[in-house]
A and B are shown apart, each in its own frame.
Chain A
Amino acid sequence: MIASLYRPLIIGLLPIALIACMSPEPTGAEESAAVPLGVDLGGSGPVAETPQPQVPTRTAFAAVGHASEPQRGSEMQMAHAGHNDAHGTGTVNSVDPAQHKVNLSHNPIPEIGWPAMTMDFPVAPSVDLKAIKPGTRVNFTIQQQPGGMHEIQAITPAGGGR
Chain B
Amino acid sequence: MKARRVPFHCGLPLNRRWFIRGAAAGAFTLAPWPLRSALAVLSRAPVLSGTDFQLEIGPTPINITGHPRIATAVNGSIPAPILRWREGDTVTLAVTNRLSEPSSIHWHGVRNPSPMDGVPGLSFRGIAPGETFVYRFPVHQSGTYWYHSHSAFQEQTGVYGPIVIVPKGGYAQAFDRDYVVMLSDWSDESPDAIVSNLKFQSDYYNFHQRTLGTFVDDAQRKGFSDTVADRLEWGKMRMSPTDILDVSGATYTYLINGQPSGANWTALFRPGERVRLRFINGSSMSIFDVRIPDLPMTVVQADGNDVEPVTIDEFRISVAETYDVIVQPKADRAYTIFAQAEDRTGYARGTLAPRPGMAVAIPLMDPRPLRTMTDMGMGGMQHGPASGTDMGSMPGMDANPEAKKLQGSVGVDNVAMMPTQRLDRAGEGFPPGRRVLSYADLRATRPGSDPRPPSRDIALHLTGNMERFIWSFDGKKFSEAEPIVLQRGERVRFVLINDSMMEHPIHLHGLWSELENGHGEYRPYKHTINVKPGERLSYLVTADEPGRWAYHCHLLYHMEMGMFREVRVP
Q: Are B356 and A115 in contact (CB under 8 A)?
A: no
Let me know if B272 is at the binding interface, CB within 8 A: yes
- Provide the bound-state CA to CA distance between A26 and B9, in Å: 10
Given A57-B450, A117-B359, A118-B359, also A148-B172 (CB < 8 A): no
Q: Are B272 and A78 in contact (CB under 8 A)?
A: yes
Chain A interface main SS type: loop
- Provide the bound-state CA to CA distance between A28 and B140, in Å: 44
Q: Are A32 and B449 in contact (CB under 8 A)?
A: no
Residues of B within 8 A of A37 (CB): 44, 265-268, 356
Q: Are B178 and A42 in contact (CB under 8 A)?
A: yes
Q: Are B271 and A36 in contact (CB under 8 A)?
A: no
Residues of A within 8 A of B334 (CB): 117, 119
Let me know if A1 is at the binding interface, CB within 8 A: no
Stretch of A2-10, A61-69, A123-131, A153-161 contacting B (4+ beta carbons < 8 Å):
A61-69
Residues of B within 8 A of A133 (CB): 7
Question: Interface 1/0s, chain A 16-54, versus B by CB < 8 A?
Answer: 000011110110100110111111111111111001101
Let me know if A139 is at the binding interface, CB within 8 A: no
- Provide the bound-state CA to CA distance between A118 and B328, in Å: 21
Let me know if B310 is at the binding interface, CB within 8 A: no
Q: Are B266 and A35 in contact (CB under 8 A)?
A: yes
Given A41-B179, A47-B172, also A35-B357 (CB < 8 A): yes
CB distance from B111 to the nearest CB of A (A): 6
Let me know if B257 is at the binding interface, CB within 8 A: yes
CB distance from B328 to the nearest CB of A (A): 6
Q: Are A63 and B272 in contact (CB under 8 A)?
A: no
Within 8 A of B (CB), among A44-95: 44-48, 51-52, 54-66, 69, 72, 75-80, 91, 93-94
Let me know if A141 is at the binding interface, CB within 8 A: no
Let me know if B143 is at the binding interface, CB within 8 A: yes
Q: Are A94 and B5 in contact (CB under 8 A)?
A: yes
- Provide the bound-state CA to CA distance between A40 and B10, in Å: 33
Q: Are A41 and B178 in contact (CB under 8 A)?
A: yes
Q: Are B449 and A115 in contact (CB under 8 A)?
A: no
Q: Are A64 and B356 in contact (CB under 8 A)?
A: no
Residues of A within 8 A of B11 (CB): 20-21, 23, 26
Question: Interface 1/0s, chain B 339-365, versus A by CB < 8 A?
Answer: 000000000001001111111110000
Q: Are B7 and A62 in contact (CB under 8 A)?
A: no
Q: Are A63 and B143 in contact (CB under 8 A)?
A: yes
Q: What's the interface size class on B, roughly? A: 35 or more
Name the residue on B nearest A77 (C-beta): B272
Return the contact of A75 from the options B25, B272, B308 (Cβ within 8 A).
B272
Stretch of B115-123, B163-171, B372-380, B456-464 contacting A (4+ beta carbons < 8 Å):
B163-171
Return the contact of A57 from the options B272, B356, B449 (Cβ within 8 A).
B449
Return the contact of B172 from the options A63, A79, A120, A144 (Cβ within 8 A).
A63
CB distance from B294 to the nearest CB of A (A): 7
Let me know if B512 is at the binding interface, CB within 8 A: yes
Let me know if A103 is at the binding interface, CB within 8 A: yes
Which of the listed residues A25, A45, A58, A62 has the most CB atoms from chain B within 10 Å of its own CB? A62
Residues of B within 8 A of A13 (CB): none
- Provide the bound-state CA to CA distance between A131 and B187, in Å: 47
CB distance from B28 to the nearest CB of A (A): 7
Return the contact of B44 from the options A26, A39, A46, A51 (Cβ within 8 A).
A39
Return the contact of A43 from the options B44, B167, B177, B266 (Cβ within 8 A).
B177
Given A35-B356, A41-B84, A43-B176, also A115-B544 (CB < 8 A): no
Return the contact of B141 from the options A22, A47, A62, A148 (Cβ within 8 A).
A62
- Provide the bound-state CA to CA distance between A48 and B446, in Å: 14
Q: Are B360 and A115 in contact (CB under 8 A)?
A: yes
Let me know if A135 is at the binding interface, CB within 8 A: yes
CB distance from B41 to the nearest CB of A (A): 12
Residues of B within 8 A of A21 (CB): 8-11
Let me know if B17 is at the binding interface, CB within 8 A: no
Return the contact of A61 from the options B3, B266, B306 (Cβ within 8 A).
B306
Q: Are B358 and A44 in contact (CB under 8 A)?
A: no
CB distance from B324 to the nearest CB of A (A): 10
Return the contact of A44 from the options B111, B164, B173, B270 (Cβ within 8 A).
B173
CB distance from A33 to the nearest CB of B (A): 8
Given A64-B445, A117-B333, also A40-B179 (CB < 8 A): yes
Name the residue on B nearest A48 (C-beta): B170
Question: Interface 1/0s, chain B 136-150, versus A by CB < 8 A?
Answer: 000011110000000
Q: Are B173 and A47 in contact (CB under 8 A)?
A: yes
Q: Are B4 and A105 in contact (CB under 8 A)?
A: yes
Given A38-B179, A40-B179, also A63-B13 (CB < 8 A): no
Q: Are A39 and B180 in contact (CB under 8 A)?
A: yes
CB distance from A50 to the nearest CB of B (A): 9
Q: Are A36 and B263 in contact (CB under 8 A)?
A: yes
Residues of A within 8 A of B28 (CB): 34
Residues of B within 8 A of A56 (CB): 449
CB distance from B178 to the nearest CB of A (A): 4
Let me know if A113 is at the binding interface, CB within 8 A: yes
Q: Are B44 and A76 in contact (CB under 8 A)?
A: no
Q: Are A63 and B268 in contact (CB under 8 A)?
A: no
Give 5 A-B contacts (CB < 8 Å), ordered by A residue. A32-B356, A34-B28, A35-B263, A64-B446, A117-B361
Query: Which residues of A come within 8 Å of B, CB atoms?
Result: 20-23, 25-26, 28, 31-32, 34-48, 51-52, 54-66, 69, 72, 75-80, 91, 93-94, 103, 105, 112-120, 133-135, 144, 148-150
A-B CB proximity, top 4 nearest:
A32-B356, A60-B141, A59-B140, A48-B170
Known A34-B26, A38-B257, A46-B170; further 4 A-B contacts with Cβ < 8 A: A26-B11, A38-B350, A42-B178, A61-B446
